C-alpha cells in the first residue's frame, strides 16, 4: 500500500516540471527576476526589462510548454524569427522621430559613420575568439546600438545567437549614461566641452515630407538587404510629417509600438533558456558588446574633434558620441555631459543630428555586412 | 561566401564596410545639403495640410 502510494507520487512528480528542473534553470529564473528588479527598482529600461525578465523566468520553468509550438511565447518568437517585429518597431520609431535636426545639419551626419568603429573592433575580436565570420558580424552589430537592427542582422547571420546579442544590445543601450561619459571626458578638454554651438536652421515642411520619400527610394535601390527596416522607418516618418493622417501616425507611435514591444520582449526573454544561455560564448559576446560600445563612443568623439578643428572651433566634440545611434539616449548623454560642464551648453538639438544619422550608419554597416557575406 | 572565414576575412570585411559607410553617409550628407533647394518648388502650409478635402 505504502509502496504503491510512493509510486503514484513519483508518477505525479514526473508529470510536473520538477523532474526536469536543473540548476541552470534555477539560475536563469534568478536572472529573470533580477531583470524585473532592475526595471522596477533601479528604473533601467522598464519597458524592455519587465517583459524580458518575466519571459526569461517562465521559459526556464520546465514543462510550461510556452516556448513550444502551441505556446504563445513560441509564436511571439516567430514574429522575430520571420523578421516581422523589427520592421514594425521601425514603423513606430519613424512615427515618433523628427528628422529635422539631421536635415538641418548635413555635415554632422558623417558622425553617424565615425561612431561605428566599435562594430568592426567587436567583429575582429569575435573572429579572434573563434566565432565564425557570420557570427562575428552579428556580434559586431551590437556596436551599432540599435536593437531592431541588431535583431534583424542576427536573424540573417546567426539566429542561434539572438538571445545573447539582443540582451547585450538592449542592456548596453540602457547603460549608455554610465558607459559613455567617462570616455567622452577622457577624450576631450574642458575648453572643447564648453563650446556653444550655433542654432541650426529651421527645416520646412516640404523638406520634412520629401526626406522619407527620397531616402526610402535610395535605400531600396542601393541597399535591398536592409530595405525592410528603413522603408518602414520612412513610412512611419511620412505618416508623421504629412500631418493629414495624424491618427495613423499616433497609432504607429503608440498602440502598434506598445503591442510590438510586448511581443519583442517576450520573444527575447523566452529564448534565454539555460542550456543555450549559460555558456562561455555568452560571456564573450557580452564582453565584446561592451568593447564595441566603448570604441564607438570614442571614435565618434575623435571624429567630432577633427571636425571642430576644421570648423575653427564651432563643433562641440561631445556630440560625436551620439553618432552611435541608440536614439535618443546617446543624444541625451551628449547634452547631459556638456550641460553639467557648462549650464549654457545646450547640445540636445545638435546631438540629435548625428544620433539620427547613427541609425542610418548602423543600417548601412549592417547592409554592407550582409551583402559582403552574401546574405539577402 | 565571397569572403574567407578567417581573421584576414574579418579585417577585410571591416575595412571595406567602414570605408563604404563613410562614403555612403557622406553621400547622404551631400544630398541633405541640397535639401534647401526643394524650397524653390514652393511652400507647404501646416494648417492647409491638416485640413481634409
Per DSSP, the residues of A105-132 read: -GGGGGHHHHTTHHHHHHHHHHHHTT--
Mutual angle of helices A162-174 and A280-310, in 10-degree steps: 40
Q: What is the pTM of this model?
A: 0.90
pLDDT of residue A63: 80
* pLDDT grade for A173, boundaries at 50, 70 and 90: confident
Choose from A222, A353, A358, A368 for mutation: most chain B CBs within 10 A.
A368
Asked if B18 and A120 come within 8 Å (Cβ–Cβ), the reply is: yes
Q: Which residue has the cell 564648453?
A: A194
Mutual angle of helices A85-96 and A257-270, in 10-degree steps: 140
Asked if A106 and B33 come within 8 Å (Cβ–Cβ), the reply is: yes
Distance CA A176, CA A331 (A): 10
Q: Is the pLDDT of residue A23 over 60?
A: yes
pLDDT of residue A236: 97
Using an 8 Å Cβ cutoff, are A139 and A288 in contact?
yes
Give A2: exposed, middle or buried? Use CB within 10 Å, 0-12, 13-18, 19+.
Answer: exposed
pLDDT of residue B1: 54
DSSP B40: G
Q: Is the pLDDT of residue A12 over 80?
A: no
Q: Which of A152-161, A334-343, B38-47 has the lowest mean pLDDT?
A: B38-47
Kindly provide the ipTM of the predicted complex, given to two decimals. Answer: 0.90
Asked if B25 and A109 come within 8 Å (Cβ–Cβ), the reply is: yes
Mutual angle of helices A147-157 and A133-140, in 10-degree steps: 170
Q: Which residues of B touch A118 (CB under 8 A)?
A: none
Q: Give A242-281 pLDDT, tens digit per residue.
A: 999 999 999 999 999 999 999 999 999 998 989 888 999 9
pLDDT of residue A171: 82
Task: Check the CA dihedral A361-A367-A369-A372 and report its sign.
Answer: negative
Phi-psi category of A44—alpha, beta or left, where left has phi over 0 and alpha has psi -120 to 50?
beta
Q: Give A296-305 pLDDT, tens digit per residue.
A: 999 999 999 9
- Averaged pLDDT for residues A8-19: 77
Helices (H), A115-226: 117-128, 133-140, 147-157, 162-174, 176-187, 190-193, 205-222
pLDDT of residue A167: 85
Q: Is the pLDDT of residue A115 over 60?
A: yes
Q: Which of A6-20, A203-217, A337-351, B33-47 has the lowest mean pLDDT?
A: A6-20
Q: Which residue has the cell 508518477?
A: A11
Contacts of A161 (CB under 8 A, 6+ apart): A135, A138, A139, A154, A281, A285
What are phi and psi for residue A69, nearest 5 degrees? Answer: -50, 130
Q: Is the pLDDT of residue A163 over 90?
A: no
- Averaged pLDDT for residues A276-299: 94
Phi-psi category of A197—alpha, beta or left, where left has phi over 0 and alpha has psi -120 to 50?
beta
CB-closest option in A207, A243, A372 to B17: A372
Distance CA A291, CA A220 (A): 32
CA distances from A136 to A63, A116, A183, B11, B13 (A): 34, 15, 25, 11, 11
Distance CA A158, CA A150 (A): 11
Helices (H), A311-347: 329-341
Mean pLDDT for chain A? Answer: 93
Q: Which residues of A touch B2 (CB under 8 A)?
A: 372-374
Asked if A123 and B10 come within 8 Å (Cβ–Cβ), the reply is: yes
Asked if A110 and B50 come within 8 Å (Cβ–Cβ), the reply is: no
pLDDT of residue A42: 86
pLDDT of residue B53: 63
Q: Is the pLDDT of residue A292 over 90?
A: yes
Distance CA A370, CA A94 (A): 23
User: How many Å separate Cα A51 from the centre of its chain?
Assistant: 16
What are phi and psi for residue A133, nearest 5 degrees? Answer: -65, -45
Choose from B21, B24, B38 for mutation: most chain A CBs within 10 A.
B21
Q: Which residue has the cell 542582422?
A: A153
Distance CA A344, CA A287 (A): 37
Distance CA A325, CA A297 (A): 10
Using an 8 Å Cβ cutoff, are A195 and A316 in contact?
yes
Distance CA B8, CA A306 (A): 30
Q: Give A300-329 pLDDT, tens digit per residue.
A: 999 999 999 999 999 999 999 999 988 899
Q: Which residues of A touch B33 (CB under 8 A)?
A: 106-107
Chain B contacts to A (CB-CB under 8 A): 1-7, 9-11, 13-18, 20-22, 24-26, 28-33, 35-36, 38-39, 41-46, 49-50, 52
3-state secondary structure of A202: coil
Peptide bond into A328 cis (omega under 30): yes
Amino acid at each position: 500500500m505504502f509502496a504503491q502510494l510512493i509510486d503514484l507520487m513519483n508518477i505525479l512528480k514526473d508529470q510536473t516540471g520538477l523532474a526536469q528542473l536543473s540548476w541552470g534553470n534555477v539560475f536563469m529564473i534568478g536572472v529573470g527576476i533580477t531583470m524585473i528588479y532592475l526595471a522596477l527598482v533601479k528604473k533601467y529600461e522598464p519597458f524592455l526589462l519587465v517583459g524580458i525578465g518575466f519571459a526569461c523566468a517562465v521559459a526556464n520553468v520546465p514543462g510550461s510548454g510556452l516556448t513550444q509550438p502551441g505556446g504563445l511565447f513560441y509564436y511571439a518568437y516567430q514574429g522575430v524569427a520571420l523578421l516581422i517585429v523589427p520592421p514594425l518597431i521601425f514603423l513606430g520609431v519613424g512615427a515618433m522621430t523628427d528628422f529635422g535636426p539631421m536635415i538641418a545639419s548635413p555635415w554632422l551626419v558623417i558622425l553617424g559613420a565615425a561612431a561605428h568603429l566599435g562594430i568592426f573592433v567587436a567583429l575582429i575580436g569575435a573572429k579572434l575568439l573563434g566565432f565564425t565570420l557570420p557570427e562575428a558580424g552579428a556580434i559586431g552589430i551590437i556596436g551599432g546600438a540599435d536593437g531592431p537592427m541588431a535583431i534583424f542582422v542576427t536573424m540573417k547571420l546567426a539566429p542561434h545567437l539572438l538571445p545573447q546579442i539582443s540582451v547585450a544590445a538592449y542592456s548596453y543601450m540602457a547603460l549608455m549614461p554610465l558607459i559613455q561619459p567617462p570616455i567622452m571626458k577622457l577624450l576631450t578638454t574642458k575648453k572643447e566641452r564648453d563650446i556653444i554651438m550655433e542654432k541650426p536652421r529651421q527645416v520646412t515642411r516640404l523638406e520634412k515630407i520629401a526626406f522619407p520619400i527620397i531616402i526610402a527610394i535610395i535605400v531600396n535601390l542601393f541597399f535591398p538587404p536592409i530595405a525592410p527596416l528603413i522603408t518602414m522607418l520612412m513610412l512611419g516618418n511620412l505618416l508623421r510629417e504629412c500631418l493629414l493622417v495624424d491618427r495613423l501616425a499616433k497609432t504607429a507611435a503608440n498602440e502598434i509600438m506598445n503591442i510590438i514591444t510586448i511581443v519583442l520582449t517576450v520573444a527575447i526573454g523566452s529564448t534565454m533558456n539555460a542550456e543555450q544561455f549559460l555558456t562561455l560564448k555568452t560571456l564573450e559576446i557580452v564582453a565584446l558588446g561592451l568593447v564595441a560600445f566603448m570604441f564607438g563612443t570614442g571614435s565618434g568623439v575623435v571624429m567630432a574633434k577633427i571636425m571642430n578643428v576644421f570648423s575653427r572651433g564651432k563643433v562641440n566634440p561631445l556630440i560625436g558620441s551620439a553618432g552611435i545611434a541608440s536614439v535618443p539616449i546617446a543624444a541625451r548623454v551628449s547634452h547631459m555631459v556638456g550641460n553639467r560642464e557648462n549650464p549654457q551648453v545646450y547640445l540636445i538639438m545638435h546631438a540629435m543630428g548625428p544620433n539620427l544619422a547613427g541609425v542610418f550608419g548602423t543600417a548601412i554597416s549592417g547592409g554592407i555586412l550582409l551583402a559582403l557575406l552574401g546574405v539577402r | 561566401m565571397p569572403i574567407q572565414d578567417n581573421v584576414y576575412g574579418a579585417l577585410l570585411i571591416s575595412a571595406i564596410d567602414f570605408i563604404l559607410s563613410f562614403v555612403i553617409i557622406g553621400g547622404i550628407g551631400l544630398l541633405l545639403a541640397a535639401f534647401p533647394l526643394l524650397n524653390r518648388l514652393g511652400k507647404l502650409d501646416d494648417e492647409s495640410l491638416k485640413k481634409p478635402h
